[in-house]
Amino acid sequence: MKKLGLFILSFILCLGPFSIAMAQKSPTICAVHPFTGRFAFAGIEGSAAMQDVVDMANEAGGINGKKIQYYWGDGEYKDDVGIAAFKRLYAQYNPQIMFGQSTGMTKALGPEIKARYKVLYSAYTMTSEAANPKENPYLFIAAPTYTEQFGVLLKYIAKEKPGANIAFFYSDTEFGREPIVAGREMCKKMGLNLVTEEVSQVGGVDITTQVLDMKAKKADYCIFQGFVSNPIAAVIKQSKDYGLNAKFMGTFWSTELQLLKELGPLAEEYTGVTAYSFYFQEDVPMVKKIREWTQKKYPKVEYRSQSYMENYLTTLLFVECFKRADKMVGGITGDNLTKALQSIKNFDVGGLMPPVSIKSNSIPVGRVYRGNSKTVRFDPISDWIRME
């Protein structure tokens, strides 16, 4: 009887360290990147950014001595494959934070993340559905939503030329159509005149009709949405042929060096909004840090894209959330991570963005840049603009 009692007591005592060990599970991030498919340019850079931030954080001591684990899978930019990769990674590594590859995947997994997985989640998306804390507190984006980006551009236009004629030029996809309804409302509120909406296929080159329509409607500004490069370059080039004197603007995914290279001498014609400093802005402390790290670890890499910067900032926020959640009762859990996220106010990111404050699970701030054909870079033409 005495032996049985000792055995039971030992067993109970063993549970204590065991439960502590369970609570001290490594902070783990799992990500589904589009390494193949039409978004591969973002996936490859994005994964590199995540790995770099994790390595830097681990070199600096991790999360209270615990190394951050990072695992990834290829979603091929297909929802089925991405969701399968998500479930595979979750089953294998049981992470507290996950990152997805697309808007479609985010929409499909959102309800399950809220009901079952309870992991902090972000993705290669700027859809408003991923920035709605009332509907789903686990989802957030480390950027302004497409709607907020439109707002930044329209605010800039309203200041530069009140009452201007606006044209929306978007792709016939979820990505393209996302901010259009809100964009119409914002035009009305800001006293801008939405004269036409043009729709085209992604990568389309036959856009003469749209250019002529914008010319007929006397559009002063044309805002692109839902394209990465084509047909933006084609529209800008053809506008010169057909005498369309509009200023061309775009949102995050098109405000990239690739477009400037395609535009060549017409680079000044394009103005875009983005949420992050560029790799060539060497006066920005965080950019300087990224450059030093890149030159040390990847000496052959000459440039890091905005996709890299986006994932870099997102992972910085992940690490900060880990640190804050680790100090909470219960340790690093999905719920504590969401609380940690909401507590982020004026978080210094070294100039990559202004000090970050999470608002409605997004960061509604952007800056307008204009292309420069001589330097083949973007020059900032506005200060950071916050959307209320």
Q: Which is nearer to other proteins, 171 or 254 (CB)?
A: 171
Q: Are 249 and 224 in contact (CB under 8 A)?
A: yes
H helix runs in the chain, sequence order: 2-23, 40-59, 79-93, 103-112, 146-160, 174-177, 180-189, 208-216, 232-242, 257-263, 285-297, 306-326, 334-342
**Is residue 44 a contact point for other proteins (CB under 8 A)?**
yes
Minimum CB separation of residue 351 from other proteins in Å reads 29
For other proteins, the closer CB: 175 or 270 = 175
Q: Which is nearer to other proteins, 104 or 371 (CB)?
A: 104
The nearer residue to other proteins, 90 or 280, going by C-beta atoms, is 90
**According to the binding rule CB under 8 A, does residue 87 interact with other proteins?**
yes
Segment interacting with other proteins, rule: CB under 8 A, options 14-22, 108-116, 205-213, 239-247: 108-116
Q: Does 118 bind other proteins (CB under 8 A)?
A: no
Shortest Cβ distance from residue 26 to other proteins (Å)?
Answer: 17
Measured distance CA(179)–CA(185) in Å, rounded = 10
How far apart are alpha carbons 59 and 297 in whole angstroms? 14
Question: Could you tell me the sign of the dihedral formed by the alpha carbons of 149, 338, 48, 350, in that order?
Answer: positive
Piece of the chain touching other proteins by CB under 8 A; list 76-84, 210-218, 328-336, 348-356: 76-84
Q: Give the nearest distance from C-beta 335 to other proteins in angstroms.
A: 20
Decide: is 111 part of the binding site for other proteins (CB under 8 A): yes
- The helix/strand/coil state of 244 is coil
For other proteins, which is the closer residue by CB, 173 or 360? Answer: 173
**Contact call for residues 336 and 328 (beta carbons, < 8 A):** yes
Beta bridge partners of residue 366, listed in sequence order: 385
Contact between 202 and other proteins by CB under 8 A: the answer reads no
Binding part of the chain for other proteins, among 106-114, 242-250, 265-273, 349-357 by CB under 8 A, reads 106-114
> Considering only CA atoms, which of 68, 140, 86 is closest in space to residue 314?
140
Binding mask 122-141 for other proteins (x = CB under 8 A): -------x------------
Q: List all residues 6 or more positions away from 50 whose beta carbon is below 8 Å from its beta carbon.
A: 29, 31, 70, 72, 99, 311, 312, 314, 315
Q: Decide whether 183 or 371 has the Cβ nearer to other proteins.
A: 183
Residues 6+ apart with CB under 8 A from 209: none
Residues 167, 222 contacting (CB under 8 angstroms): yes
Binders of other proteins among residues 13 to 42 (CB under 8 A) are: 35-36, 40
Segment 314-333, which members bind other proteins (CB under 8 A)?
none
Establish if 172 lies at the interface with other proteins (CB under 8 A): yes
Q: Is 178 in the site for other proteins (CB under 8 A)?
A: yes
Q: How many residues bind other proteins (CB under 8 A)?
A: 32
Contact 382, 156 (CB under 8 A): yes
Q: How many CA atoms lie within 13 A of 32 on its CB side?
A: 30
Residues making contact with other proteins (CB under 8 A): 35-36, 40, 44, 72-74, 76, 79-81, 83-85, 87-88, 90-92, 104, 107-108, 111-112, 115-116, 129, 172-174, 177-178
